[in-house]
Structure 1
């Protein structure tokens, strides 16, 4: 999910200097693909950029050891990326660009490394990124898109400009899109280990299932209003319906709407009603594109500050929303993430063994539990 980079998440100096970002620098990033296939292409985004994005050169390669978050690539594996036959791309403000197909055949679940060089840099600190990468990227001065290593590289745990790696998959493969917030984005998972619950779900289903995963979540995201990134209703067409090959959608979003609304009974009644109306909008819009929509119940936040409130109005809103998800009959299926994550002895709270420690987010075992709550049968037929 592309979003506007917050000032604290911009590339550090000297890679951001006087309004100029990554001038004369190489940016190396690694991404895990789910589907395997015969060819692939790179999608770059300047959706929130304040100036054109001038990519001078780019490459895709295999990382050393096949691991995410490393700065080295296997010698001889770098493939130059072209855009309409040219080795460069100037991405206009608000636009995205898709590369020409590369003759590189990734295995299912493999990691690829994308290197970009910006000779002139982006002349604005309004930069498109995905801060919650849970993956280490590297910055280095000079053009090193084909180099096996980056000298004196600076690590940053963010993705910049990269929006997708699209694989020409085998017939029968289809996309599962995920709409969510930090729980789905991977908060609490292990950096560079790809153990977010969507990754765990892909691993559990296995490549033979023919399910490619497109994680379109972001920490702090909300369903109704903008938060960190546009609200899910506002970004739904771009981040879900515009993707190639989407057949299924899981929606796990709404906790941040409840947690940021005033903790009064009228306000929480209203936010619960608005969330239900938003789910219905997503269902109608997805069904118009023949996409099946699966509703995820909202996980507990009892004990979290500031989301939990002494009077329990926010918990009442969560229960109202979850009751509608389970019994409303509008979703094509229900995935009970609440049941998978809650403490049976204290249902308002997360199970302690799954709690990251803030009583809102999940640790790696919690991500495993959410992945285990998704029935494999939802992706057959």
Structure 2
């Protein structure tokens, strides 16, 4: 009898293991989590803090509602949110969160469409406390999102964060709203104050059957969108996504913008250096398959304008790119290098002797010819003036001879070969 029971137990266990394996297999085949939107976390500068009364001494967002809109890339049937306290000086006590579709489907509006608000939970609870330096991922939530749609995320903090060190993404190019009290599911916010920054929210992921993976963009203000139109989502990453989703071969590619104005590759500036943030902003993201590195102009522009210093910065940038390539490839991520665009005529970065331009040319030559990147995207060729390769094409120049206007950003988006993102 004992032998019979033993055989029965073995058979039951085998069936259970087979069922689990089958379930895992079907789950893997039916979809995956992929980042559909990201914003690089930064320490908020004093000039970008929430205005009074939402900042008072060392207490931020006490008894306050924050409503933000973001434009996702790929769509999905379920979503989850990432909140970051990477630079917070105290634990972040989130009291309540909800998501909804904004009125008119537009970015930068304070009203939400009636009947679309959904509460967000964390391990089944409506609140969460994010430790200093950490991030929290919400529970999955059923809310179908179409590709390229806009989502409103509303956060209420009853106690506020007990520190003026706040995590944010100042260069949102999108209007958010602060309002007093708990208005987390209000159709519109009473007494709202507009601010063109994102706070606390660092990512949105979707469970998708169609997503092929995420393309992560590491860069500076040129990728963050300085010169683009507030609330119009016409940065080059946005315009690239619009182009990709129009082609069935690339329609499943998510685009994650992990750039910030003033960011550098080698040294911290506005936000940690690209080398320091690679693990958090790229390797730890969900569903990453491709990485574009388009950064280095701020390293060149802030280094001393001497021949020796610029030779050193060019050599150091090349070594840094090698490090990024090695670390990303260890995670089976394809790494594409983008050439640095011109800055001739910019009062801060251009120098009379041309040492910085020589460094830019040296870096671009290595990107183009070294063979170290899996492919090269020639943004320099796309943006430069045919009559003067040191300068931006006048029709693309926002006016400071460094940043691009929406037409210039379209030229960058169009310069990305779609074949690099085919399945």
What residue number does 1:182 align with?
Answer: 221
- Residue 171 of structure 2 is aligned to residue 132 of structure 1: yes
- Residue 83 of structure 2 is aligned to residue 44 of structure 1: yes
Match of 2:244 among 194, 205, 208: 205
- Residue 237 of structure 2 is aligned to residue 195 of structure 1: no
SS of equivalent to 2:411: helix
* 1:113-132 correspondence runs (5 A): 113-132=152-171
What residue number does 1:300 align with?
Answer: 342
Offset at 1:171?
Answer: 4.2
What residue number does 2:286 align with?
Answer: 244
Contact 2:289 2:334 in 1 (8 A): yes
What residue number does 2:416 align with?
Answer: 374
Match of 1:4 among 17, 39, 43: 43
Q: Distance in 1 between matches of 2:113 and 2:264?
A: 40
What residue number does 1:166 align with?
Answer: 205
- Residue 157 of structure 2 is aligned to residue 100 of structure 1: no
* 1:75-90 correspondence runs (5 A): 75-90=114-129
Q: Distance in 1 between matches of 2:202 and 2:399?
A: 31
What residue number does 1:32 align with?
Answer: 71
Q: Deviations over 1:124-167 (max 9, x none)?
A: 00000000000000000010111000011000000000001111
Q: Deviations over 1:172-209 (max 9, x none)?
A: 52000000000000111100011100000000111632
Q: Distance in 1 between matches of 2:337 and 2:135?
A: 30
Q: Radius of gyration: which is bigger?
A: 2
Give TM-score, length-normalised by structure 1: 0.99
> What 5-or-longer segments of structure 2 have no aligned partner?
1-39
Q: Distance in 2 between matches of 1:71 and 1:156?
A: 11
What residue number does 1:156 align with?
Answer: 195
**Equivalenced residues, count:** 381
Contact 1:251 1:294 in 2 (8 A): yes
Q: Deviations over 1:246-284 (max 9, x none)?
A: 000000000000000000000000000000000011111
Q: Distance in 1 between matches of 2:211 and 2:225?
A: 28
Q: Distance in 1 between matches of 2:128 and 2:46?
A: 25
Q: Distance in 2 between matches of 1:56 and 1:40?
A: 20
SS of equivalent to 1:320: helix
SS of equivalent to 1:249: strand
Structure 1's 218 and 147: CA in aligned 2 closer, same or farther, altered over 3 A? same
Q: Distance in 2 between matches of 1:172 and 1:137?
A: 28
> What 5-or-longer segments of structure 1 have no aligned partner?
none
Offset at 1:380?
Answer: 1.1
Contact 1:82 1:100 in 2 (8 A): yes
Contact 1:36 1:170 in 2 (8 A): no
Contact 1:26 1:116 in 2 (8 A): yes
Q: Distance in 2 between matches of 1:136 and 1:283?
A: 35
Q: Distance in 2 between matches of 1:339 and 1:171?
A: 33
User: Moved runs in structure 1, 4+ residues, more than 2 A?
Assistant: none
Q: Distance in 2 between matches of 1:280 and 1:84?
A: 40
What residue number does 2:401 align with?
Answer: 359
What residue number does 1:221 align with?
Answer: 263
Match of 2:300 among 253, 258, 266: 258
Q: Distance in 2 between matches of 1:36 and 1:144?
A: 27
